[in-house]
Structure 1
């Protein structure tokens, strides 16, 4: 029988991109960059190490919210404060700056940041999906051949859009990519400023409410994404045991997210005001599970790295083999999961 009594989740800090610099500078003074504090948070046991973890504000981060709501951080001996960012890349910026010690982010977006952030380390996969991102066409766009402008968010969205065009035999250079924040894109498409986009939920559903049309999922043209748990090499050097505790808690939370979507939806609503139906939809479309990396994963990551180099977005090839810590999960969480 399921235990329906859940600890009350602590308030989650949210940092928007426009105020990140000010907030980050304040946190440097108050907390010390890249540090791990002992028992300085609000949800761990006496002496539990305290860290800050960057997350996004969508249902794809549901396991983090579940771990917070169900007291799983404390159960595994770590005190975690979740810090919300509007975009995953902003959370990685905070990680590199030492304002958080760990972060969740997509593989594609993180790979695009490796050249300027060589200390980034990816420890494990906690979600996979080829169904959560969808291709959306504007109300008057009858087919992909009519696309002249696509709205993109740098990283995962842009890569998914490029692969979509290639799958339809459309030269990506023939389409103008318009960079925008996710929340702006459905309205831009409705107005006709752009013709299409590829985004994660809830933005495809928001688009349909404006008269736009979901054409297909990324999996329909053979593209999927993953989310990684990230940290940095300087912090990991002295804190592998702390990272392992986070990994163990996240693994249990991912299992709970899959087995009890309603509880996950409530946790996401309480922590990030994410509507219940969005999380329930996400659990159907995303495979939440903590696992190590495979050889097939690495092949996909190398392809993504080459995308950034070949398109001129980066001047050097991202060093995926250094960033991705294959075998880290098995080596560091034995007996704790």
Structure 2
């Protein structure tokens, strides 16, 4: 789904953070190598929202920090966090909504901090000839897609219960919209751009209806307890890479293109819709996580509850990640 996830006016600060993080990361003892614990596998999805991981991998930043890291590409969604649960990866990058649904069944998972967020990445598209108040059928994908659709419909005075929800995957939305099988959908690029090219139009971004997402770095409690210094080293590198993405999006787009074989121009468009930067959890993050859990419970999408005060490791980034700072919340 998801995803600091600081704008041009803060470019100088971002570069400074990157330089401090790079220098500090090299001064940490190479705990992973000393303990012989083997490679650190980080599961991520295959879209530009994972740009910091791809930049760090493509530019050898993990190696320079003395880390043996393998970035493992998955189909995204819950698969990345499920790899951590299964022990086939030590860490994963996940959108808040996805991580929480997996945490409901696996309370030993821990979110270490935020590395990106956005209130522009998700957009509302309607088909030609339909006004927002005329929406009767909406294409949705599970998780945050359902949550944002619910928020949008309520924001324009429509009762979600009175609208037909067609559950499908994001790639299906543009053709469904083009054929008139659905009136609208809430999603992200490239599906938004494809739908617009077919005659649809964007009528809102998630920020217009007070919706945003964050992406978190996730581990198990057991692994984190035994490898806290290594986790800090990884997040140091991720902080440096996120600063690069934020201040030099063309450089980041080239890394994304090389990693997932995507057109650099398309990668750049997506990167511009996301705010990248490492930070700790805030009161707002905790409140949003609780809202997500409540929504998924009401929709019978998760069983049980999630103790957000436990699974979100508030204070961990501030205590362990060198150079981490809370970014300003402003668009590019």
Identify the residue that residue 78 of structure 1 maps to in structure 2: 67
Is residue 48–residue 79 contact of structure 1 (8 Å, CA) maintained in 2?
no
Equivalent position to 2:191, from 203, 211, 216? 203
- The Cα of 1:152 is off from its aligned counterpart by 1.6
User: Which of residues 295, 301, 309 is equivalent to 1:313?
Assistant: 301
| SS of equivalent residue, structure 2 residue 105 | coil
Within-5 A mapping of 1:175-324: 175-324=163-312
Distance change (3 Å), C-alpha of 1:272 and 1:46: farther
Tell me by how many angstroms 1:47 deviates: 5.9
2:90 matched to which residue of 1? 101
TM norm structure 2? 0.83
- After superposition, what is the alpha-carbon deviation per residue over 1:289-313, rounded to whole angstroms, capped at 9, x for unaligned? 0000111211111111111122332
Gaps of 5+ in 2: 1-14, 16-30, 326-332
Is 1:88 the equivalent of 2:77? yes
Instruction: Determine which structure has greater relative contact order: mean sequence separation of CA pairs < 8 Å that are 6+ residues apart, divided by chain length.
Output: 2
8 Å contact from structure 2 (residues 32, 67) kept in 1: no
- One of 47, 50, 54 as aligned partner of 1:61: 50
User: Could you tell me how far apart the structure 1 residues matched to 2:161 and 2:86 are?
Assistant: 34
Does structure 2 retain, via aligned residues, the 8 Å contact 1:51–1:80? Answer: yes
Gaps (5+ residues) in structure 1?
3-36, 40-44
**Where does 1:111-190 land on structure 2 (aligned, <5 Å)?**
111-140=100-129, 142-190=130-178
Decide which structure has greater helix share: 2
Structural RMSD (CA): 2.3
- 5 Å matches for 1:32-51? 49-51=38-40
Moved more, 326-335 or 190-199: 326-335
Number of residue pairs matched by the alignment = 296
The answer to whether the 8 A contact 1:62-1:279 is kept is no
The change in CA–CA distance for 1:324 and 1:154 in structure 2 (over 3 A counts) is same
Instruction: Give the 4+ runs in structure 1 shifted more than 4 A.
Output: 45-49, 334-337
* Alignment partners' CA distance in 1, 2:179 and 2:84: 36
Deviation at 1:86, TM superposition (A): 2.1
Instruction: State the Cα distance separating 1:254 from its structure 2 match.
Output: 0.3
d(CA) in 1 for partners of 2:134 and 2:311?
39
- 2-side partners of 1:48 and 1:78: how far apart? 11
Deviations 1:131-183 (A, max 9, x none): 1110111234x112222222222111111111001101111111222222222
Equivalent residue, structure 2, for 1:24? none
Question: Could you report, residue by residue, the CA deviation over 1:90-146 in whole angstroms, capped at 9, with x for unpaired residues?
Answer: 211222111111111111222222211211110010111101110111234x11222
SS state of the match for residue 54, structure 1?
A: strand
